[in-house]
Amino acid sequence: MSSMVVTANGNDNKKFKGDDKMDGAPSRVLHIRKLPGEVTETEVIALGLPFGKVTNILMLKGKNQAFLELATEEAAITMVNYYSAVTPHLRNQPIYIQYSNHKELKTDNTLNQYEEYHRAQAVLQAVTAVQATNAPISGTTVSESAVTPAQSPVLRIIIDNMYYPVTLDVLHQIFSKFGAVLKIITFTKNNQFQALLQYGDPVNAQQAKLALDGQNIYNACCTLRIDFSKLVNLNVKYNNDKSRDYTRPDLPSGDGQPALDPAIAAAFAKETSLLAVPGALSPLAIPNAAAAAAAAAAGRVGMPGVSAGGNTVLLVSNLNEEMVTPQSLFTLFGVYGDVQRVKILYNKKDSALIQMADGNQSQLAMSHLNGQKMYGKIIRVTLSKHQTVQLPREGLDDQGLTKDFGNSPLHRFKKPGSKNFQNIFPPSATLHLSNIPPSVAEEDLRTLFANTGGTVKAFKFFQDHKMALLQMSTVEEAIQALIDLHNYNLGENQHLRVSFSKSTI
């Protein structure tokens, strides 16, 4: 292995010749160029920490350059690949990272007399010496350093007055406005929802804290309380609804959590570069149904109940009038909100009005169900001109075409903060089953779902056998199965819960 020798006078032009080539062979030594003049060693080290252990650093402040050595070539490759898609910034200035021609960073002893060298090495030792010994959060380990909190790229976020749920994707959407979000961990501590969020650049963390601390995510609730963490790196083991590493879409989901769909994983890899645009959400609060629906349609937010504004009534057309019932519409649309009333039109029985609990739920249901196939027909879902669904006049028989579900015990979203808010996905061939009694075997569930008229392609129990994933051959078959079997009595006074999953088996 070749080593790099740096002379005391820093006359290294010949030594570094060739490092300007962007297509050099992979090396665990990285050449960083165009650094701001005032940048610190900690900020440069922080660039590499998300990808692995940093083993050496050499700052060439007179040239606005640095060399960073990682413990493994694999870590360096991951870092270069990530920053080739997401331009790194330090102090609001773009910088450039590439492989060095050198395979190892070895400094000459004559450099030890310089205070700058000693400081760089001291900072590196401080950052890498201390490993967190606390119990991991949700299968996550964290590296801690002695750097001051203001230098950390990791923010600690507490959500006060959390009337509506805040998902990992919502946090990513908001905080990505200030720079590339690399990792997020969410957890509950002292009965408070909290998160650790890591940027690629400590300056982005500082900007986000200044702009967002004390702001409300939604009108008059879900207040952000933000501090710098003492941690400088989050080591996320699993990509699921609790934690995510946007630099590693290939991570497993962990026990008891559906795995990320490969297409979704690929989207996460691209998402950071798409959202890493400086500037705040202004205003931060999402004040109306249109804003929430736009976020939901983008696949980022799935939250009914953000605002009372917007039309709550949907018009559903092109229904199979021989098959559809108010109950079947209640079950399907109930995946995306609490259905209050359903009315199949008397003179046009291939159309129905569905009243949701609020405008955000109606927007969410419309974005996910318009164009889906139900009972062999592609349904159309639009907002209705009606503001409410009228019940038939007392004494008038409307042949059971109108039904009030306001007091139904089957509403999924009545409880604020329910986990159901975090598991709203578009219709898919894979279904998530829960509330399964111990006596029910895989074959029982396969037979049950096959009896809905479709083909069961795959099945997988979670570790505790209380939940499972079941894959039908088409999305239409999965929709049919959900309508038929959600709340199905499996015995032992346990009713099956069925929802769409983002996973494949």
Helix, strand or coil, per DSSP, at residue 500: strand
Strands 373-374 and 377-378: antiparallel
Over residues 119-148, mean pLDDT: 46
C-alpha to C-alpha distance for 497 and 504, rounded to whole angstroms = 18
C-alpha to C-alpha distance for 411 and 295, rounded to whole angstroms = 23
Over residues 202-231, mean pLDDT: 84
Q: At 308, is the pLDDT very low, low, confident or very high (cuts 50, 70, 90)?
A: very low
Beginning with the edge strand found earlier in the chain, give each strand of the sheet holding 192-199 in spatial order. Answer: 216-218, 221-228, 154-160, 192-199, 181-189, 243-245
Is-contact 51 247, C-beta < 8 A?
A: yes
- Buried residues in 369-378 as b, exposed as e (16+ CB within 10 A): beebbbbebe
SS (H, E, C) 459-473: EEECCCCCCEEEEEC
Q: At 200, is the pLDDT very low, low, confident or very high (cuts 50, 70, 90)?
A: confident
372: which 2 tokens? 């889906």
Task: Classify the C-alpha dihedral 273-274-278-282 as positive or negative.
Answer: negative
Q: Is the pTM of this model over 0.75?
A: no
| Predicted local distance difference test score (pLDDT) of residue 273 | 32
Strands 29-33 and 96-99: antiparallel
Mean pLDDT of the chain: 77
The DSSP string of 381-392 is: EEE-S-SSPPPP
Question: E strand or H helix at 30, and its extent?
Answer: strand 29-33
pLDDT tens-digit map of 245-260? 988 888 898 754 444 4
C-alpha to C-alpha distance for 257 and 266, rounded to whole angstroms = 19
pLDDT tens-digit map of 25-58? 899 999 999 999 888 887 888 788 777 788 889 9
Is-contact 362 313, C-beta < 8 A?
A: yes
Is-contact 302 412, C-beta < 8 A?
A: no
SS (H, E, C) 279-322: CCCCCCCECCHHHHHHHHHCCCCCCCCCCCCCCCEEEEECCCCC
- Buried residues in 110-124 as b, exposed as e (16+ CB within 10 A): ebeeeeebeebbebb
Domains and CATH numbers, the chain: 29-99 (3.30.70.330), 154-245 (3.30.70.330), 313-408 (3.30.70.330), 423-500 (3.30.70.330)
Over residues 300-312, mean pLDDT: 44
pLDDT tens-digit map of 70-108? 989 888 888 888 787 677 888 778 899 999 998 888 765
C-alpha to C-alpha distance for 380 and 365, rounded to whole angstroms = 11
**DSSP code for 59:** E
Higher pLDDT, 83 or 233: 233
Residue type, 279: G
- Buried residues in 193-212 as b, exposed as e (16+ CB within 10 A): bbbbbbbbbbbbbbbbbebb
379: which 2 tokens? 């349904």
State which of 266-280, 286-300, 339-353, 361-375 shows the largest mean pLDDT: 339-353
197: which 2 tokens? 């969020």
C-alpha to C-alpha distance for 422 and 258, rounded to whole angstroms = 13
Bond into 409 cis (ω within 30) = no
Angle at 443 between CA 440 and CA 444, to 5 degrees: 45
451: which 2 tokens? 């009896």
Strands 221-228 and 243-245: unpaired
C-alpha to C-alpha distance for 35 and 416, rounded to whole angstroms = 47
| Predicted local distance difference test score (pLDDT) of residue 445 | 97
